């Protein structure tokens, strides 16, 4: 399988909801089950227009959610008038019944998009917290806002299902938001509501981690309320929960990052590492890379061992290897660098496997992803994606490469070696792999 074949576009049988655009659209698309997505990290409005013009699956939908402009206007610099023109052309190309436009954090880009969309519905990202000033901390909350009040009633993927209508079209509340991933304050809020409604979480309680215990409780709620039973607190399930707790007058104290406990070796305690930036790779492989990077580096392409940051993405791979050689000569405990924390020996070996010219190849985001994908391919990535290698076997293989990923026995494969420890529980890791592969 060639590298570019890993770019996966999520498809639905009927385009009830389409999500197009940049990295914001990637996140929103992942938060709306069944949506048809045509989105790429770092893309400009011109490229978005080109992509959707050649993709009939995103044209003529009932609802189009579009995120564009962040990469046209960088720190206030760019051509706002060209962006306005491209936005109008994107709208014409999509030919949707209804539109929702995501307004970027950048003020100039946001004003340009607002000017172009006229009376269409908008969701302003400035209303949502952000760790990096570019991406929202919770894509689920943005996705819920984008869909709110649109009353899509089809049984097609991406729309509230007929038996799930009780959660659709209700007045939005600020009690629960759709979690963006398996860990975070939004998961802790769901756990608090489950407990308040009488469901049991006997082993871990409210820890902000959607492991097997929480999945089982969510399934019980879904079964009792006529929803699809998948254990995933997605938009329909969260809408139903909000309705139930509103009717019962249940209130909870909103969770913060302090309520989220990351576990290692079966023990809880400590803060959840934030994902500072999304993978430059999209689709299932990109989500797998995000899973690994969250615990290895927080998703930071420029991080070095010990938490120090460098300008790694502007260096060549050869420069990085020379820097690591110098680190060894100065007695550093580790030479781990980049989003996937490659030590010098592994970096040199993987680059050689790929036939990489280390002096001319930048150690940028795409290269770091490509290196990690090469490593994953050597341990069975394609077989795992095709269902020929089960999640447990694949997890153990990944854990032998990346120390922060737990084994099926619990804890890091390299526990006791230096400061190595697993970043999450085994059940959470296995559920995450299942989610990614079955998306």
60 within some domain = yes
> Do residue 103 and residue 189 come from a single domain?
no
In the chain, which residues have pLDDT < 50? 1-14, 151-173, 263-271
265 within some domain = no
> Do residue 155 and residue 172 come from a single domain?
no
119, 129 contact by CB (below 8 A) = no
Q: Say how far apart CA 332 and CA 344 lie, in whole Å.
A: 12
> Do residue 61 and residue 15 come from a single domain?
yes
> Do residue 12 and residue 141 come from a single domain?
yes
Our count of domains for the chain comes to 3
> Do residue 289 and residue 414 come from a single domain?
yes
> Do residue 331 and residue 424 come from a single domain?
yes
Domain of 172?
165-259
Q: Which of 159, 182, 213 corresponds to the end of one domain?
A: 159
Say which residue the tokens 């655009």 belong to: 21
Percentage of the chain lying above the pLDDT 90 cut = 34
pLDDT score for 337: 94
> Do residue 152 and residue 187 come from a single domain?
no
- Using a 10 angstrom Cβ sphere, with 0-12 exposed, 13-18 middle and 19 or more buried, the burial of residue 196 is middle
41 within some domain = yes
Which stretch of DSSP H or E encloses residue 39? strand 36-39
337, 367 contact by CB (below 8 A) = no
Cα 221–chain centre separation: 25
pLDDT score for 1: 30
Q: Which two tokens stand for residue 353?
A: 């496997």
> Do residue 120 and residue 234 come from a single domain?
no
pLDDT score for 275: 61
154, 200 contact by CB (below 8 A) = no
> Do residue 245 and residue 102 come from a single domain?
no
Q: What is the pLDDT of residues 182-229, one digit of tens each?
A: 778 889 999 999 999 999 998 888 988 888 889 889 999 999 888 888
pLDDT score for 195: 92
407 within some domain = yes
Q: Which two tokens stand for residue 251?
A: 């209130």
Q: Which of 132, 159, 186 corresponds to the end of one domain?
A: 159
pLDDT score for 321: 96
Q: Which two tokens stand for residue 284?
A: 């299932």
274 within some domain = no
Number of Cβ within 10 Å of residue 380's Cβ equals 16
> Do residue 26 and residue 145 come from a single domain?
yes
Cα 184–chain centre separation: 12
> Do residue 212 and residue 143 come from a single domain?
no
**The domain spanning residue 380 has which CATH number?**
1.10.530.10
pLDDT score for 392: 94
59 within some domain = yes
- Using a 10 angstrom Cβ sphere, with 0-12 exposed, 13-18 middle and 19 or more buried, the burial of residue 47 is middle
End-to-end, the C-alpha distance of the chain in Å comes to 19
421 within some domain = yes
> Do residue 295 and residue 412 come from a single domain?
yes
| Residue 187, φ and ψ in degrees, nearest 5 | -65, -40
Q: Which two tokens stand for residue 188?
A: 């802790």
275 within some domain = no
pLDDT score for 358: 95
Output the CA angle 144-149-150, nearest 5 degrees: 95
**The domain spanning residue 177 has which CATH number?**
1.10.101.10
């Amino acid at each position: 399988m060639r590298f570019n074949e890993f770019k996966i576009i999520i498809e639905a049988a009927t385009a009830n909801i389409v999500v197009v655009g940049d990295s914001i659209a990637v996140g929103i698309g992942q938060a709306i089950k069944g949506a048809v997505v045509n989105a790429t990290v770092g893309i400009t409005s011109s490229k978005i227009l080109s992509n959707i013009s050649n993709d009939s699956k995103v044209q003529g939908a009932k609802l189009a959610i579009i995120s564009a402009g962040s990469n046209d206007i960088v720190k206030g610099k760019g051509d706002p008038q060209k962006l306005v023109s491209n936005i109008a052309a994107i709208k014409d190309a999509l030919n949707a019944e209804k539109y929702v436009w995501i307004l970027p954090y950048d003020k100039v880009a946001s004003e340009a998009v607002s000017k172009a969309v006229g009376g269409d519905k908008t969701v302003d990202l400035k209303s949502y917290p952000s760790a990096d000033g570019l991406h929202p901390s919770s894509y689920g909350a943005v996705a819920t806002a984008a869909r709110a009040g649109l009353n899509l009633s089809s049984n097609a993927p991406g729309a509230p299902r007929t038996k799930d209508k009780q959660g659709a079209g209700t007045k939005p509340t600020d009690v629960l938001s759709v979690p963006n991933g398996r860990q975070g304050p939004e998961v802790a809020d769901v756990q608090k509501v489950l407990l308040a409604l009488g469901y049991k979480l006997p082993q871990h309680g409210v820890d902000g981690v959607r492991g097997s215990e929480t999945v089982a409780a969510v399934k019980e709620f879904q079964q009792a309320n006529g929803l699809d039973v998948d254990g995933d607190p997605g938009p329909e399930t969260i809408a139903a929960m909000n309705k139930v707790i509103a009717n019962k007058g249940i209130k909870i104290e909103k969770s913060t990052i302090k309520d989220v406990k990351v576990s290692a070796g079966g023990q809880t305690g400590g803060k959840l590492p934030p994902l500072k930036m999304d993978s430059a790779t999209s689709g299932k492989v990109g989500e797998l890379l995000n899973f690994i990077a969250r615990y290895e580096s927080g998703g930071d392409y420029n991080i070095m061992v010990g938490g120090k940051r460098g300008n790694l993405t502007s260096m060549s791979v050869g420069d990085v290897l020379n820097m690591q050689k110098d680190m060894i000569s100065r007695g550093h405990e580790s030479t781990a660098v980049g989003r996937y924390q490659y030590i010098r020996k592994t970096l040199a070996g993987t680059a050689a496997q790929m036939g990489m010219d280390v002096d001319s190849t930048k150690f940028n985001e795409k290269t770091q992803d490509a290196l990690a994908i090469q490593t994953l391919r050597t341990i069975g990535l394609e077989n795992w994606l095709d269902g020929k290698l089960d999640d447990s076997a694949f997890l153990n293989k990944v854990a032998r490469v990346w120390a922060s990923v737990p084994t099926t026995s619990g804890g890091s494969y390299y526990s006791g070696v230096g400061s190595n420890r697993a970043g999450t529980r085994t059940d959470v890791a296995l559920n995450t792999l299942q989610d990614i592969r079955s998306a």
